[in-house]
Amino acid sequence: MIMKKQIILSGLMLAALVGTASATIEVVNQDWSVGQTIADNSSSGLTVSQNFTGLADTISEVDVRLNISGGYNGDLYGYLTYNGQTVVLLNHVAGGSLSAYGSSASGFGVGTLGTDTGRSESITLSDLGGSGAIHDVGGSPVAVGNYTPDSGSSGAFATAFNGANPNGTWTLFLADLSAGNQSTLVSWGLDISVVPEPITYALGIFAGLLGLSAMGSRLRKLRA
Predicted TM-score (pTM) above 0.85: no
CA–CA distance, 164 with 167 (Å, rounded to integer): 9
For the domain with range 25-193, which CATH number is right: 2.60.120.260, 1.10.3720.10, 3.40.50.1360, 3.40.50.300? 2.60.120.260
Burial 8-24 (b: 16+ CB within 10 A, else e): eebeeebeebbeebbee
DSSP symbols for the chain: -HHHHHHHHHHHHHHHHHHHGGG--EEEEEEEEEEEEEPTTEEEEEEEEEEE-S--SEEEEEEEEEEEEES-GGGEEEEEEETTEEEEEEESTT-SSTTS-------EEES--TT-TTS-S-EEE-SS-TT-BGGG--SSPEES-EEB-TTSSTTHHHHHHTTS---EEEEEEEEE-SSSSPEEEEEEEEEEEEE--HHHHHHHHHHHHHHHHHHHHHHHHHH-
CB of 62 closer than 8 Å to CB of 36:
no
pLDDT of the residue at 141: 84
CA–CA distance, 185 with 151 (Å, rounded to integer): 20
Domain residue spans in the chain? Answer: 1-23+196-224, 25-193
What tens-digit pLDDT sequence spans the chain (224 residues)? 544 445 444 444 444 444 444 446 788 889 999 999 999 999 999 999 999 999 888 999 999 999 999 999 999 999 999 999 999 999 999 887 656 677 888 999 876 544 444 455 899 999 999 999 999 988 788 888 999 999 888 899 999 999 999 999 999 999 999 998 899 999 999 999 999 865 444 444 444 554 555 555 554 555 55
Q: How far is CA 144 from CA 114, 163, 214, in A?
A: 10, 29, 59
**Could you tell me how many residues make up the chain?**
224
pLDDT of the residue at 154: 85
CB of 102 closer than 8 Å to CB of 94:
yes
pLDDT of the residue at 56: 85
Q: What do you get for the CA distance between the two ends of the chain, in Å?
A: 15
Q: What angle do CA 68, 194, 134 make, to 5 degrees?
A: 30
CA 79 to chain centre: 13
Pairing of strands 146-147, 123-125: parallel
CA 78 to chain centre: 16
